[in-house]
Amino acid sequence: MTKLSVNINKIATLRNARGGNVPNLLKVASDIEDFGAHGITVHPRPDERHIRYADVYALKKIIRTEFNIEGNPNDAFTAMVLEVQPTQVTLVPDAVDAITSSAGWDTIAHKDLLKDMIGTFKAKGIRTSIFVDPDPKMIEGAAETGADRIELYTEQYAEMYTKAPEKAIEPYKNAAILAHTLGLGINAGHDLSLENIAYFKQGIEHLEEVSIGHALICEAIYLGLENVVNMYIHRLRA
């Protein structure tokens, strides 16, 4: 089945809003694993406004499933990933002041950088993924960097889903077919939710993993965290 990796950035945001350690980030991560999730995702940013670099080191000690670290490969991020050695690193082209991810990599313009970073991470046995739009040229470029996987940036799908689901998913179907043909594994993330995840899963062949944070935590406010994790897992088995 497609694996669910839960992004816990929003848990860290809530903790940081009051200082202290409530909610306890490490306990939430451990509980999410107990609830059935297949992995934990974090996306530390330079200002540490949610996940702190210290959190990443602490999480590495307690995570029993897969650990996915997302981010722009600046020097500090790269050094941390090489030291922590997570299951997977997902390279995201965020600006320093980005509120959230808003675009995939231009894998042609940044080919040399990506190739160098991916070689560095893979030499340490870390699975590599590149955040990309469902653009054939960008996927072909990703394959040329030596990446193990791509993560399809799904905001466009989520925005269009309620109006025209078939039209919304079409470029992602084509992107997944191309990626698989080129030997790339397929992940996806950004604005996927309980409302739209099942249709996405059913339409995308060879979907290995989804990373979901904001929507899942928001849904958990009403439905409960354990319940929501299991609702996603159920939809991903369909």
Q: Name the residues annotated as catalytic.
A: 43, 70, 190
Tokens of 236: 């991903």
| Cα atoms in the Cβ-side hemisphere of radius 13 Å centred on 94 | 21
Cβ contact 68:211 at 8 Å: yes
> What type of residue sits at position 174?
N
E strand or H helix at 212, and its extent? strand 207-212
Instruction: From 35, 24, 42, 34, select the one nearest 189 (Cα to Cα).
Output: 42
Tokens of 152: 């399809």
Cβ contact 110:130 at 8 Å: no
Cβ contact 124:85 at 8 Å: yes
Cα 225 to Cα 36, 213, 217, 221: the distances in Å are 11, 11, 7, 7
> What type of residue sits at position 130?
I
- CA-CA distance, 95 to 99, in Å (whole number)? 9
